[in-house]
Structure 1
């Protein structure tokens, strides 16, 4: 019986560590709205820790965060290029709203202990 409990605590310890990492990454992405460099830190952490989350519900959060970063970067580049045609403002605003939506949706799913759909 004690071995069963020891095995369960051994298996949940890495998942608890990954939960904290996912939470920190959501915070870093949110902070990147004010301090851009935190998004770079978060993407590095996502790539370093994603393989540890394979097969768990947290894997979807790592993938969600990675996609959010790269698509946001792409939208930012498109906004910069189209800024000279005056449509860049609209692209930037849409990208900003989309980024906030992704962070909030991911965090809410994380807070409920669910994978991101």
Structure 2
């Protein structure tokens, strides 16, 4: 049996993957219902200890960074709306968040960590 199959069969990994999948889904739904972006971050922090020492922890780090940097840029975009550049910042942030969700979710489905260098 290959090493990849053993990873998928591990119940702890399966549970961690389910949690990460839920977070990616909540982040995606945030484009329709913004509060789910916050709910996704809450799930990340609540389940963070469950994924420690697994390759799925890299996805949680990726998701948490997506939340905090996305939130930061949204606030900055809203503040700068009056100057006319806020719209472009908000659109750029939306594209960046979509990219992060897609890249992360695809890697998760392929049983790959988000960062190659885990040092």
Count matched residues.
108
RMSD, aligned CA: 1.3
Specify the alignment match of 1:17 in structure 2.
15
Does structure 1 residue 66 correspond to structure 2 residue 64? yes
Question: Which one has a bigger Cα radius of gyration?
Answer: 1
Residue ranges of structure 1 left out of the alignment (5+ in a row): 1-7
Q: Name the residue aligned to 1:77.
A: 75
* TM-score where L is the length of structure 2: 0.86
Matching residue of 1:88 = 86
Choose from 91, 100, 103 the match for 1:102.
Answer: 100
Q: Which residue matches 1:32?
A: 30
Which has a greater percent of helix? 1
Runs in 1 of length 4+ with deviation above 2 angstroms?
Answer: none
CA shift for structure 1 position 73: 0.4
